[in-house]
A = this chain, B = another copy of it.
């Protein structure tokens, strides 16, 4: 395998640097908030050189996006339960758990922060959403291959994810399991 294309192979130095840098990003977001720290702050916290961060990620915005996706993929991988209803219910429940947890609706806060960070930020926001949309699309494609209904990822965004995000952002009511399941049932 070409090492250049695999900077995060398990156990290598690249993987250790990535883990340390991601952790530093997570800590700085929680301590200072978006817009209140730089690549230099991240590098210092992770104990690596600024140049290592720039070489690997190119910009703060790309790093923020990579760290967010990595965390999401670890904590909330797309489910594969064997049915569309099962997948959507499991996915919706995981998102509800995530956005009502200590970090709140982190993906939305990140998207807002990136939208204030110029062209670099807008590109990173686009990559972030494209990556999550791609994962969601794969889940919906599996349903299609099983002969189940074919849904558009944007319908899932509009009618399952958006209501949960907005209720959390506005502080309206609780996301009970009945409510979350109800959003999925209504979409299906």
Partner of A111, one of B129, B162, B169: B169
Closest residue of chain B to A159, judged by CB? B159
A108→B111 CA distance, assembly (Å): 13
User: Chain A binding site: helix, strand, loop or mixed by DSSP?
Assistant: helix
Contact string, A125-146, partner B, CB cutoff 8 A, digits 1/0? 1100100000000000000000
A158→B179 CA distance, assembly (Å): 11
The interface on chain A, measured as residues whose beta carbon lies within 8 A of the other chain's beta carbons, has a size of 25
Residues A171 and B108 in contact, CB atoms below 8 Å apart: no
Residues A158 and B163 in contact, CB atoms below 8 Å apart: yes
Q: Which A residues form the contact surface with B (CB < 8 A)?
A: 108-109, 111-112, 115, 122, 125-126, 129, 154, 157-159, 161-163, 165-167, 169-173, 183
